[in-house]
Amino acid sequence: MLQIQLFRTDKNRIIEGLQKKNFKDLQIVDAIISLDEEKRNIQQQSEALAASSNAISKSIGQLMATGKKEEAEQKKQEVAQQKEEAKALAAKLADAEQQLHDLIVSLPNLPHTSVPAGKTPEENEIVREGGKMPELHAEAKPHWELTEKYDLIDFELGTRITGSGFPVYKNKGARLQRALIQYFLDYNTEAGYTEFQVPLMVNEESAYGTGQLPDKEGQMYHIQDDKFFLIPTSEVPLTNIYRDEIVKETQLPVKMTGYTPCFRREAGSYGKDVRGLNRLHQFDKVEIVQIAHPDKSYDTLEGMVKHVEQLLQNLELPYRILRLCGGDMSFTSALTYDFEVYSAAQQRWLEVSSVSNFESYQTNRMKIRFKDESGKIHLAHSLNGSSLALPRIMACLMENNQQEDGIHLPSVLGKYMKDLILN
């Protein structure tokens, strides 16, 4: 959520940022500024009325002490009338505050100055590429055929049990999934991240805090009776661990990691782009989250990007890093880097991670703050990244490493898999 002070001091920056994100309803900015002025006027009236009531109340005792009962009674009536006026102003103030809040949360985060202009994924900037492109044998297959050939994943069984987008992993496919999760968690904890095991459902306050509400309610599975949401990513419960908390400046950065299944309703159901593991309703992911000092959050972001990049290098996968343009960024992000891995059998790039700085957008909603040495309270910055999402990593590992005698996994997984050949 954008801070109201910015509307009071730099309207042009807000307009420019919203335009870069291709946000169309720019008249909301003027409406927010107008409502903010109205709210402050009401507050001034309320404060003036309270001061007047206090002064009159004090005078009543003096009048009574000097025997001026009639004048004291008139003053009491004045106070009673002012109390009614104060109630009306309080109701008016609450209404203005609610309207103001509803408008502010409808606006996306403003993009960082380094974010390129653009509306589509084709306008994202390639920051760098790494890894070696594989050379496949003549009979190479896409992962959905490999998983059937080697009995690793059963997509039809998942459809029968639940529906499309809910695969069943089995045999060495299940073991590979488990091995990757353990490897990612070990890699993160060795880098100083504290591991958490968090709930898979969150309440409305938590979903609002990270920006899923009110922007993405249609993308989440909603348990209506309990008003819970199945998490789209562990970013939501992990970041909310510090909701309404004030930490010491010396505690920053706070580094958290966690593994969870993730649930998303928006998965597609037709075409090769969403076939197999390419897009699912339920999938596993390991996440990294940091709560950082505002002055250091972009250094933190670069560190998280290098952290994820090294993980892909360890897996020996060809990858590229993209800086997303304004039109392709999430509602809450100020700057996002996407990681894509090349799928040789499909001959296309697949997104496997997003690493983002949200600046104070989420922390303002959740009131995640820190206290400096002087005792002053500030909003922290929040960042998160996938480290990594499992489905497309598995797809690329299988496709890029297939040989005629089976799928040869990278040696880094030797600690977690007894057999590095899937056949």
The predicted pLDDT at position 68 comes to: 84
Residue with tokens 């203005």: 96
Helix count (H) and strand count (E) of the chain? 12, 19
The pLDDT value recorded for residue 253 is 98
pLDDT single digits (tens) 142-174: 999 999 999 999 999 999 999 999 999 999 999
Is 316 labelled a binding residue?
A: no
Please give the pLDDT value at position 38: 97
The predicted structure's pLDDT at residue 69:
82
For the chain, list the domains and their CATH numbers. 4-104 (1.10.287.40), 121-422 (3.30.930.10)
Looking from the CA of 98 toward its CB, the CA atoms found within 13 Å total: 6
Expressed in angstroms, the distance from the first to the final Cα of the chain is 50
Q: Shortest CA distance to 396 belongs to which of 329, 350, 330?
A: 350
Q: What is the pLDDT of residues 219-245, one digit of tens each?
A: 999 999 999 999 999 999 999 999 999
Is 139 labeled as ligand-binding? no
258-273 pLDDT tens trace: 999 999 997 554 555 7
Q: Check the annotation: does 308 bind a ligand.
A: no
Three-state DSSP class for residue 203: strand
Q: Is 265 annotated as a binding residue?
A: yes
Task: Summarize pLDDT for 353-408 with one digit per residue, the tens.
Answer: 999 999 999 999 999 999 999 999 999 999 999 999 999 999 999 999 999 999 99
| Residue 101 to residue 95: CA distance in whole angstroms | 10
The answer on whether 127 is annotated among ligand-binding residues is no
Across residues 123-149, what is the average pLDDT?
96
Residues 6+ apart with CB under 8 A from 83: 53
Model confidence at 300, pLDDT cuts 50, 70, 90, reads very high
Q: Which secondary structure element, helix H or strand E, spans residue 337, and what is its range?
A: strand 335-343
Q: Please give the Cα distance from 227 to 207 (Å, whole number).
A: 11
Q: Is 352 annotated as a binding residue?
A: yes
Please give the structure tokens belonging to residue 120: 């589509």
Tens-place pLDDT, residues 198-215? 999 999 999 999 999 987
On whether 266 is known to bind a ligand per the annotation, the reply is yes
**Residues, the chain, total?**
423
Which DSSP letter does residue 223 get?
A: E
C-alpha–C-alpha distance, residues 386 and 288, integer Å: 6
Q: Give the pLDDT confidence score for residue 271 in this predicted structure.
A: 56
Three-state DSSP at 405 gives: coil
Least confident of 51-55, 279-283, 295-299, 315-319: 51-55
Is 85 part of any known ligand binding site? no
Question: Across all residues in the chain, what is the average pLDDT?
Answer: 95
pLDDT digits (tens, 9 = 90+) for 330-358: 999 999 999 999 999 999 999 999 999 99
Q: What is the pLDDT of residue 272?
A: 57
State mean pLDDT over 297-319: 98
Rounded to an integer, the average pLDDT of 90-104 is: 97
* Residue listed under structure tokens 């090349």: 342
> What six digits make up the tokens of 179?
């091995």
Q: What DSSP element (H or E) covers 202?
A: strand 201-203
Q: Token digits for 45? A: 């009236």
Tokens encoding 365: 């909603």
Average pLDDT over residues 253-257: 98
pTM of structure? 0.93
Tokens of 18: 């919203």
